[in-house]
Structure 1
């Protein structure tokens, strides 16, 4: 009983270090690479600023196994709980503790909402955005934040360890937080005061939580407003320069969740104002990582279940010295973002990555089209670029020979290099092979290569053009006629078409050609003239946005 009471004790450990002033005039650009290492090796060096980077040249002849082991994809996460005792404990706590925690979390949320409602009595939306809260409303805001902190305490986060000290909002109006790896990261909002967040306007409509967020005086973004970015930057600058006592603005600079093994490119939004920022690090020093919620990994509900079925979890918040931008950084938000990212990577002891938030859009599109290795499609695209294989005519010519290639379903690195006519000493070939060998068998299915390559080539095209390219992999000999099986195999790479819809579509086209097999042209002509299939001829707008960026 004593240990149980102790585990529920709410403790906050703080150190007394004052915030220091940090100003960096220049940071070596070589600290950011597309090849990221998990561990220090003989090829790893350190920049003058202490951030690890890698001097491996593309001509080095490392084998594909080494590349597979060394590469870090920040958007994947694997949770391994191999201990039977740990699983038994989780199942017991699921029955005994989890229901109580859910009740505690809900009651804490309700209490926070009640005080948020009280604090906003008599305030219009315009008044709430015009001036910071003060007097009794400010005290009520603190009480609301306390109940939000209790929500996390009920959810197993009894302890928060602090390092460094949060600077005053006048000294650093913006808190730049990284790495962003989980929905649990919002604990920093409850633990810091609360600060204001930058959120889409629709957030205010979330039951209970929306009112609590609004009470924290956030900066809402109107997505339909083309001037939204400029308005957000102007609001941040106005708050920073105001004589009023505004709270910090907190921004997760990565823009999406990663696995904390590397820092991806920061979005420049926090750096457009050109004001000083304070970097803040989030860490979870626990035995099992049941928090990391990435694009490719355990789902949110599973992670929530495992987190709530643990006796307690630790969280560490580290405030780094305030970063004051120089004139070059004020004029270039991307340079400012890169330099702050380098400082945070050094403090975390992790490398920086060429991956960015926009890459998730491409990975998601690849998965929706059933492209194998969608989690590694960005690395595959880079390898294809260096190998000069982002050429549609070259790849389509090879794809036309696919059905006649022997052992095409199981090809080792030697035969793969011969097929592509590329030397086995080429480092990018080894990287490509390692990415395509997602089953870790030492051999790849050549269809995996072609589907990945065709997606990278036609990612900016409409779905129909991609499907036409894919059809070359399923064609029989010199005929362009398709069997039902071939038709289904091709259309498997089209999102929004279920098996039932495909069957109906095939039968309708077949009715127009009695006694004959249909061709891909028949499929295209039929769908072009029917409104329900217009989506096949539209380019993916999110991919277009990524390409523009």
Structure 2
């Protein structure tokens, strides 16, 4: 069915009830007042389509007795724990300062610490272990056999889910870590991290990856007694429900690695710190208000790479991940750290359901909407003439998209968009998502141009209110800045501007250069990126 035929059919439908639900009416004569839920950008992730999103965590404590314990311990025990943590941190910093006396960063990079400094290194690690004990981790259970640095120069740790994962560093000795160069300047912690002789990454250096790999290899092959290097291969925090793609950095050297598993078998998960979930202050409070917290560290057998794995770091990383996932009893997932960047980008640009945008993109690939289908563009062109677009059922949605209503991918997409479980979807939300997925690697100005007709009849007649609605998807401009920009473009006070006026003005003013920057670092999500179950 063509859009015109669909429009004719829909025009005889019941009046739009969008206003009653807090949505903007698509009628061009409707009020210009914009509601917050215009395109459902206040909701982060859907629960309609059941899949594992490794970046979403919910902490709910419904038991009244447990809540009473938390409030009681907050008053009686938390102040003592905070004092203990502060004293432990200051002690570790003091011991690190003593151990580092007379050493430069170059000295730490060229040879391992030895003699009395090594003893102070262990004392510093012990003081940091006391910090964790003060913060409820009284006992850490160790299982398996830890390999020596010569047997496995690298410890690959997963899953990475929390700021408390550094407990592995203070519990095992301490090993070295791979860290940003800027961490050496952090008050107190900078000295402690330096004393562990980390491998620093210079992000501004284009050869940073090669230099990091070379330093790991040099340490692995050195006759000196360098500590092992700890690497969290996932590269970002997850909810531990699946192992996401491992970054290949730990596997480029082609040396044996020891997989290490982190587990937190507690009643409530007050540690997981993900992209969509409780903030760090709430997690700290909930953790410190517990009587104790459990942590288990399991050392798996050393994994020695084959010739094929040495030649292919990604193959090596995937095979180690399979071993670790099997030991944990969780699936593997094709999600990666780059997907978090995409989700964050979508959230900043007020794209509906940013927590589900990667899965939505996969469904669009499966349905043939990506990379270059014109169907959604055609719908946008006629969007304001359509009726009842806030509440499309599955059959109307399929008819409009010209897809078989029995298509399973369509049903999965529909479930993702049906955030409120009303068996209907918002067409505007879908179109904004589809345009973001299609243009996420392009300049922001191209995305804004693509969605203009969702808010006004023509790009040649954009009012101030509609301009604000469009520019809210720019990611950086507040309503006040949008108003200021609008009046700067509308110098003749016509009461409207064109998209070309807006584009010409912003091109000449450097403060708007972000509108013309391509986002080529955002990874393209292909169809079929499913969670893989372990056997």
After TM superposition, give the deviation of residue 87 of structure 1 in Å: 1.9
Among 482, 491, 494, the residue aligned to 1:502: 482
Alignment of 1:88-103 (within 5 A): 88-103=68-83
Structure 1 residue 300 corresponds to structure 2 residue 280: yes
Structure 1 residue 115 corresponds to structure 2 residue 109: no
CA distance in 1, matches of 2:76, 2:202: 44
What's 2:228 paired with? 248
TM-score, normalised relative to structure 2: 0.87
Alignment of 1:517-536 (within 5 A): 517-536=496-515
CA distance in 1, matches of 2:514, 2:165: 37
Structure 1 residue 419 corresponds to structure 2 residue 400: yes
After TM superposition, give the deviation of residue 89 of structure 1 in Å: 1.8
Q: Is the 8 A contact 2:266 2:294 kept in 1?
A: yes
Say which SS state the counterpart of residue 58 (structure 2) adopts. Answer: coil
Alignment of 1:324-339 (within 5 A): 324-339=304-319
After TM superposition, give the deviation of residue 392 of structure 1 in Å: 5.5
Say which SS state the counterpart of residue 344 (structure 1) adopts. Answer: helix
What's 2:264 paired with? 284
Q: Is the 8 A contact 2:243 2:321 kept in 1?
A: yes
Among 155, 165, 176, the residue aligned to 1:175: 155
Q: Is the 8 A contact 2:390 2:428 kept in 1?
A: yes
After TM superposition, give the deviation of residue 67 of structure 1 in Å: 9.4
Superposition RMSD on alpha carbons, in Å?
1.8
Q: Is the 8 A contact 1:239 1:246 kept in 2?
A: yes
Q: Is the 8 A contact 1:396 1:472 kept in 2?
A: no
1:439-473 Cα shifts (integer Å, max 9, x gaps):
33322111111000000111111111111111021
1:116-163 Cα shifts (integer Å, max 9, x gaps):
111122223222222222221111111100000010000111121111
Q: Note closer, same or farther for the CA distance 1:143–1:67 as it changes in structure 2 (3 Å cut).
A: closer
Say which SS state the counterpart of residue 316 (structure 1) adopts. Answer: strand
Q: Is the 8 A contact 1:161 1:317 kept in 2?
A: yes
Q: Is the 8 A contact 1:358 1:546 kept in 2?
A: no
Q: Note closer, same or farther for the CA distance 1:455–1:479 as it changes in structure 2 (3 Å cut).
A: closer
After TM superposition, give the deviation of residue 308 of structure 1 in Å: 1.0
1:165-208 Cα shifts (integer Å, max 9, x gaps):
21111111100000000111011111110100000110100111
Say which SS state the counterpart of residue 198 (structure 1) adopts. Answer: strand
Q: Is the 8 A contact 2:48 2:421 kept in 1?
A: no
Q: Identify the range of structure 1 (172-181 vs 538-547) with the bigger mean alpha-carbon deviation.
A: 538-547
What's 1:473 paired with? 454
Structure 1 residue 342 corresponds to structure 2 residue 322: yes
Q: Is the 8 A contact 1:361 1:546 kept in 2?
A: no
Gaps of 5+ in 1: 1-65
CA distance in 2, matches of 1:534, 1:492: 16
CA distance in 1, matches of 2:131, 2:79: 14
Q: Is the 8 A contact 1:152 1:187 kept in 2?
A: yes
Structure 1 residue 309 corresponds to structure 2 residue 298: no
Among 447, 457, 466, the residue aligned to 2:428: 447
Q: Is the 8 A contact 2:343 2:357 kept in 1?
A: yes
What's 2:113 paired with? 133
Q: Note closer, same or farther for the CA distance 1:529–1:392 as it changes in structure 2 (3 Å cut).
A: farther
CA distance in 1, matches of 2:344, 2:258: 32
Q: Note closer, same or farther for the CA distance 1:327–1:180 as it changes in structure 2 (3 Å cut).
A: same
Among 188, 192, 202, the residue aligned to 1:212: 192
What's 1:185 paired with? 165
CA distance in 1, matches of 2:301, 2:361: 38
Q: Note closer, same or farther for the CA distance 1:479–1:189 as it changes in structure 2 (3 Å cut).
A: closer
Q: Note closer, same or farther for the CA distance 1:104–1:425 as it changes in structure 2 (3 Å cut).
A: same
Say which SS state the counterpart of residue 321 (structure 1) adopts. Answer: coil
After TM superposition, give the deviation of residue 239 of structure 1 in Å: 1.1
CA distance in 1, matches of 2:385, 2:524: 38
Count residues in correspondence.
480
CA distance in 2, matches of 1:532, 1:69: 40
CA distance in 1, matches of 2:485, 2:89: 50
1:465-496 Cα shifts (integer Å, max 9, x gaps):
111111021123x6731222211111111122
Q: Note closer, same or farther for the CA distance 1:366–1:479 as it changes in structure 2 (3 Å cut).
A: closer
Say which SS state the counterpart of residue 318 (structure 1) adopts. Answer: strand
Gaps of 5+ in 2: 1-45, 527-535
Among 441, 464, 471, the residue aligned to 1:460: 441
Among 509, 515, 518, the residue aligned to 1:539: 518
What's 1:514 paired with? 493
Q: Is the 8 A contact 2:376 2:401 kept in 1?
A: no
CA distance in 1, matches of 2:426, 2:512: 31
Q: Is the 8 A contact 2:442 2:520 kept in 1?
A: no
Say which SS state the counterpart of residue 433 (structure 2) adopts. Answer: helix
Structure 1 residue 399 corresponds to structure 2 residue 370: no
What's 1:26 paired with? none
Structure 1 residue 239 corresponds to structure 2 residue 219: yes
Structure 1 residue 368 corresponds to structure 2 residue 317: no
CA distance in 1, matches of 2:395, 2:283: 41
Q: Is the 8 A contact 1:381 1:456 kept in 2?
A: yes
Q: Identify the range of structure 1 (395-404 vs 137-146) with the bigger mean alpha-carbon deviation.
A: 395-404
